Structure 1
Amino acid sequence: MEKTRGISRAHFLAGAAALSVAATVLPSRPAAASGGGLRHRGVVYTVGAGETPGTAWSAARMRRDIGAIRDRLHADTVDVTGDGVERLTTTAAEAAERGLHVWLQPTLADAPERDILEHMAECGRYAERLRRQGASVDFSVGCEFWLFVPGIVPGETVMERVENLLKGNVDPVRMQRELDRVTAKAAALGRSVFHGNLSYAAAQDDTVDWRLFDIVGIDYYSYFRHHADYVRELTQYRRWGKPLAITEFGTCTYEGAPQAGGMGWNVIDYDKGEIKGDLVRSEHTQAVHLTDLVRVFESMGLYAAMAFEFVTPDAPHRPDNPKKDLDMASYSITKAIKDRPDDPRSSWHWEPKEAFYALARQYGGCAQQR
């Protein structure tokens, strides 16, 4: 369900399962520690986001986007995520050829567990080929398995699993046991096909045996008024003595969105296809929150931080109709604009939001200092 990677991307319950750890420990090699500031500054690029006729994945569009990520956003890292081995690997290769650090993270959802693991392994094999050719590559075995892998939480689809979690229709002990099993299985398979730094993207309060991985990966959507509170919360993820990567961070594009955190997307009436209530669009709010977070990450010298996300084509911006301006519910740092707003087959383009320019200044300034 591609929509889950866009406006209904379920960070909704980031931290729903904070229970006991029970997993087999595999050999692990530490990633190199970072010195001052962030080691890798980047953005999440979702392949296949928006599967309508007008927004389906395009190799030509992807190449232009990767070029913009490097040359206009001044990022040195791209988190290539989504599903489809060919488009994931093609995008990873393009990023590597342009000299970007690649964080490759396949996230096939709502498929049988064996298919999800094989999809991951195929991407891992390709990541290893890139690494052996000299590319800078880290590999993540997946994202929030309790959400994407059927069988951990009741429900055949992402949205059904979310609904069951919200209603409490879940056995937390069984859920954690299954999450541990799938995570350990994925780590072992990932380690067998990829011999560089291995990671996983967990929700903030997930219980994960990080001994299985080289890099701790966290999808981070907290909001505090003071930087010290962010530092205090993030410090807990360093207790394993491993590099910390913020695999996602960001907020939506309206006043009050940072306070909503990972639930910021939940402002759309999907039956009507319009924004609920009387939200006030604010690109400035999004830009300030992202740049504040980057300052926190820089001050802590984290391994990596990837803003979520570059573009969300199935949440188009409608400057002429605020109720239909679904981009307000998007975490994207660009706004998708359709040539014919009411035509699902319409061509479209993206334009930078304030957050894009703000991150570009931060990323570019850090690159010059380095």
Structure 2
Amino acid sequence: MQKPDDRGQTGRGLTRARFLAGMAGAGVAGAGVLAAGAARAVAARPGLRHRGVVYTVGEGETPGTAFSTARMRRDLGVIRDRLHADTVDVTGDGVERLTATAAEAAERGLRVWLQPTLGDVPERDILEHLAETGRFAERLRRQGAAVELSVGCEFWLFVPGIVPGADVFERIRNLQQGQVDPVAMQRRLGRFTAKAAAVGRRVFHGRLSYAAAQDDEVDWRLFDIVGIDYYSCFPHRADYARELSRYLRWGKPLAVTEFGTCAYVGAPRTAGMGWDVVDHDKNPEEIKGHLVRSERTQAAYLTQLLDVFSSLGLYAAMAFEFVTPDAPHRPGDPLHDLDLASYSITKTVQDRPFDPASGWHWEPKEAFHALARRYARERPHTAADGGRSRLSTC
């Protein structure tokens, strides 16, 4: 399971649910959405314009899961040729890892959505990390690559000073315990988002975006593309369409910068908190409760959302995520099957379980195959594809 400093789910999902509930109660959440009639809705034709997957380039938690250029190259080949994606969301920290992966993706003809996500360091370091990555994105763009830059992801959790706390874990506790002034927090969030957008504009001259939580207050006038990390679960397709339509009211393309769930029964109903099933106090870490592994549940949720995105004619959707090396699947050992807490569409299998230096490989889950079939159909998209799935997973 990825930790917050590797830009994983640990911090974001938990505080998203609790923080947004508190913000809504304070009358702040959603305040950035334009009032009815204030903006023209985007006229969208059925069909998803760009089909993508998130590819995280962290340094790894153990020697065995350290970043590998050779592995990255193989993975990008799979993303293009077997998953049939046309877009890869290259995210994480480390300018060298980000730029090497973006360059390889562009060389293979993939559209690059480049999103640096350095966290838990001073603001100036985060902005310089963004500037360096953005300068490289601009070089790729001038060379003819299809590339877009996202200035970051859910700043309120990863950028120090927006939410009180010395690190991600302390910020989580403060949010859980209600020790946050939502008005002051929103003011600080807006200030930093504007700074990041200004840095992005200065170094990159293509389309600019940001990956926001669903109910974040964002001034989308700063960006060319509205980006939303989307983890809702509704009983009816019309509910998804109704919720997503509000983001179209800015008159700008909408990209779902993350969507997905875990591979166990009931995971979609956790609304982005499916990862929160690991007891980290145990050694080795254990899965809490008695979860029933279900790759079919994960696959059904992903394809159901793709039906909705296609019917709305969204600009792009990026499934979260391709692989999670630090959440290994341990078949026959459900107590230690950390892949249950992973949103990955592949499962990591260690050569030597519980050995931090072990080599590993990934195997496709049902979600991988389901996405591949759907992405292949979307290439020459048709209106009929948008209405295929009728059963809700929620």
Given that 1:110 and 1:148 are in contact with CA atoms closer than 8 Å, whether structure 2 keeps it comes out as yes
Partner-residue secondary structure (3-state), 2:176: helix
Distance 1:106 1:290 in 2: 25
1:174 correspondence with 2:176:
no
Q: Which amino acid aligns with 1:283?
A: E
Indicate how the Cα distance of structure 1 residues 7 and 244 shifts in structure 2: closer, same or farther if over 3 A, else same. Answer: closer
Q: How many residues align?
A: 361
CA deviation profile, 1:179-232 (whole Å, cap 9, x unmatched):
000000000110010000000000000000000000000000000111100000
Question: For 1:292, which of 304, 309, 316 is the aligned residue?
Answer: 304
Given that 2:228 and 2:257 are in contact with CA atoms closer than 8 Å, whether structure 1 keeps it comes out as yes
Given that 1:340 and 1:346 are in contact with CA atoms closer than 8 Å, whether structure 2 keeps it comes out as yes
Distance 2:205 2:54 in 1: 23
Partner-residue secondary structure (3-state), 2:97: helix
Partner-residue secondary structure (3-state), 1:12: helix
Report the TM-score when normalising by structure 2: 0.89
Tell me the equivalent position of 1:335: 347
Mapping of 1:298-313 within 5 angstroms?
A: 298-313=310-325
Distance 1:314 1:118 in 2: 28
Distance 1:312 1:160 in 2: 24
Deviation at 1:3, TM superposition (A): 1.3
Distance 1:367 1:170 in 2: 46
Q: What RMSD, in angstroms, separates the aligned Cα atoms of the two structures?
A: 1.7
Deviation at 1:368, TM superposition (A): 4.8
Given that 1:311 and 1:333 are in contact with CA atoms closer than 8 Å, whether structure 2 keeps it comes out as yes
Given that 2:44 and 2:312 are in contact with CA atoms closer than 8 Å, whether structure 1 keeps it comes out as no
Partner-residue secondary structure (3-state), 2:180: coil
Tell me the equivalent position of 2:131: 121
Deviation at 1:239, TM superposition (A): 1.3
Structure 2 alignment gaps of length 5 or more: 33-41, 383-394
Mapping of 1:30-109 within 5 angstroms?
A: 35-48=45-58, 50-109=60-119
Partner-residue secondary structure (3-state), 1:93: helix
Structure 1 alignment gaps of length 5 or more: 23-31
Deviation at 1:2, TM superposition (A): 5.4
Structure 1 stretch displaced more, 155-164 or 9-18: 9-18
Partner-residue secondary structure (3-state), 1:105: strand
Mapping of 1:1-370 within 5 angstroms?
A: 3-4=3-4, 5-14=7-16, 16=20, 17=23, 19=28, 35-48=45-58, 50-272=60-282, 273-369=285-381
Report the TM-score when normalising by structure 1: 0.94
CA deviation profile, 1:208-261 (whole Å, cap 9, x unmatched):
000000000000000011110000000011111110000000001110000002
Deviation at 1:10, TM superposition (A): 1.5
Given that 1:243 and 1:302 are in contact with CA atoms closer than 8 Å, whether structure 2 keeps it comes out as yes
Query: How many percent of aligned residue pairs carry the same amino acid?
Result: 73
Deviation at 1:369, TM superposition (A): 4.8
Misfit runs of 4+, over 4 Å: 32-35
Distance 2:12 2:156 in 1: 11
CA deviation profile, 1:22-52 (whole Å, cap 9, x unmatched):
9xxxxxxxxx986431111000000026321
Distance 1:292 1:198 in 2: 28
